């Protein structure tokens, strides 16, 4: 019986030694796998970072162009307003009576209304152009981030054939005509 006990203890010691070797190797394997996955994730961030940077540059250029166009328009509006104010003051100075002043004012109001409408149309055109540009930048950025890189496409093709989902067939009850 003592020999059987020694044999059992020896088997248990060997089993425990083998388990210890496996446990010693397992953490290393787990750490290597985790490091490998982390490295892949860090590599995967390169493309989105490039996309965000390029998108930021494109948006900055677009906003700079839009602001420049709006400032040019503002300069034209202010210049036109000052020119018209000077012309009105000159007319008032040359007017011989109230009737001349009022007659000139009516024509000037119509011309100002037309200028304001044209300026508003130009502002809307500038903002529409900017909106289309922002939409194009956002669409391109989304497509660049969402589409998988070429490497992922190659590995996805090698994955093998897809399995089709099983479909349940409907059983139809047949009516017997009598």
pLDDT greater than 70 at residue 153: no
Identify which of 3-12, 75-84, 88-97 has the greatest average pLDDT. Answer: 75-84
Token reading at 64:
């700079």
pLDDT digits (tens, 9 = 90+) for 41-63: 888 888 888 888 999 999 999 99
Q: Tell me, what's the pLDDT at 57?
A: 94
Token reading at 79:
């210049």
| Nearest CA-CA partner of 58 in 2, 167, 141 | 141
Name the percent of the chain lying above pLDDT 70: 78
pLDDT greater than 60 at residue 170: no
Token reading at 32:
């290597």
Q: Tell me, what's the pLDDT at 58?
A: 94
Q: Tell me, what's the pLDDT at 105?
A: 80
Token reading at 14:
């060997």
Handedness of CA 64, 68, 69, 73 (dihedral sign): positive
Residues composing the chain: 178
Q: Do residues 108 and 88 make contact, with C-beta atoms less than 8 angstroms apart?
A: yes
**158: confidence class by pLDDT, cuts 50, 70, 90:** low
pLDDT digits (tens, 9 = 90+) for 17-43: 887 777 677 677 776 787 788 888 888
Across the chain, mean pLDDT equals 80
Q: Tell me, what's the pLDDT at 122?
A: 95
Instruction: Compute the chain's Rg from CA coordinates.
Output: 40
**178: confidence class by pLDDT, cuts 50, 70, 90:** very low
Q: Please state the pTM of the whole predicted model.
A: 0.57
Distance (Å, rounded) from C-alpha 45 to C-alpha 146?
A: 12
Greater pLDDT, 109 or 23: 109
Q: Side-chain half-sphere of 32: how many Cα atoms within 13 Å?
A: 5
Distance (Å, rounded) from C-alpha 149 to C-alpha 154?
A: 9
Distance (Å, rounded) from C-alpha 131 to C-alpha 123?
A: 12
């Amino acid at each position: 019986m003592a020999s059987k006990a020694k044999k059992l203890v020896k088997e248990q010691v060997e089993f425990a030694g083998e388990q210890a070797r496996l446990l010693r190797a397992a953490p290393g394997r787990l750490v290597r796998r985790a490091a490998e996955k982390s490295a892949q994730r860090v590599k995967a961030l390169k493309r989105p970072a490039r996309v965000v940077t390029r998108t930021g540059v494109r948006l900055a250029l677009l906003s700079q162009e839009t602001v420049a166009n709006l400032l040019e328009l503002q300069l034209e509006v202010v210049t036109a307003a000052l020119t018209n104010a000077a012309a009105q003051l000159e007319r008032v100075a040359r007017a011989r009576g109230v009737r001349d002043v009022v007659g000139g004012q009516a024509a000037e109001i119509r011309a100002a209304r037309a200028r304001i409408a044209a300026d508003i149309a130009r502002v809307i055109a500038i903002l529409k152009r900017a909106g289309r540009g922002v939409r194009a930048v956002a669409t391109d950025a989304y497509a660049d981030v969402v589409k998988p890189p070429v490497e992922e496409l190659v590995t996805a093709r090698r994955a093998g054939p897809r399995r089709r989902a099983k479909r349940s067939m409907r059983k139809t009850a047949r009516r017997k005509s009598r």
